[in-house]
Amino acid sequence: MKIELEPIDSLSQETLAGLFNSIFPETAIHWDIQKEVEKSFEDLEEECSAVAWKGDKPIGAIICVNRNGLQIDHVGVLQNNRRMGIGRMLIRYAIDNADRDIKGLVPKDNQAVMELMEEEGFQRVEEREDCYLYRIEID
C-alpha cells in the first residue's frame, strides 16, 4: 500500500498525541505526550511538519518547531511500519521544506535514528548527557 505524506493539520492535536503515545508506549509512564504535543504546536513550523498515512490510518509523523532555530521536536513511526523507509520520508520532507538549518536531539540508545540522520546528511555536533545534537545545513 502506498504511503502518503500530508500536512500536520491533517490530524488534530489530540489524535497526534495518541499516535505518538502508540509509537513510544514505553515512555508513556513518565512522558505526558499530550502536553508535549501542545507545547510543540505553540512553536510549530507547519511547512516542515507532516503525517504519514497508510490508506486512512496515520502511521507516523514529524513535528518541527522554531526554538532558537528550526528543530525536529518529534519524529516516529508505528512499530509494525518501521524499516520501510517512512522515517526517512518524514525527515526528507522536513529537509526539503526547510528554509534554514535543522537541528535535532537523538537519544544515545537510538542507533537506528542516528544512522538515518547521518545518512540524510545530518552531522553530530554536540554530545549531551543522554543524547546527541545533530544538525544539517540548508543552502
Along the 139 residues of the chain, how does pLDDT read in single tens digits? Answer: 799 999 998 888 888 888 888 888 765 555 677 788 888 888 999 999 999 999 999 999 999 999 989 999 989 999 899 888 999 999 999 999 999 999 999 989 889 889 999 999 999 999 999 999 999 999 8
CB atoms within 10 A of CB 57: 11
Q: Residue 123: is it exposed, middle or buried by C-beta count within 10 angstroms (0-12/13-18/19+)?
A: exposed
Q: Does pTM top 0.85 for this prediction? A: yes
- Give residue for cell 512522558: 31
Q: What is the DSSP string of 68-126?
A: SSEEEEEEEE-GGG-SSSHHHHHHHHHHHH-SS-EEEEEETT-HHHHHHHHHTT-EEEE
Q: What is the C-alpha to C-alpha distance for residues 70 and 90, in angstroms, rounded to an integer?
A: 15
Q: Which domains does the chain have, with CATH numbers?
A: 3-136 (3.40.630.30)
Say what the pLDDT of residue 102 is: 97
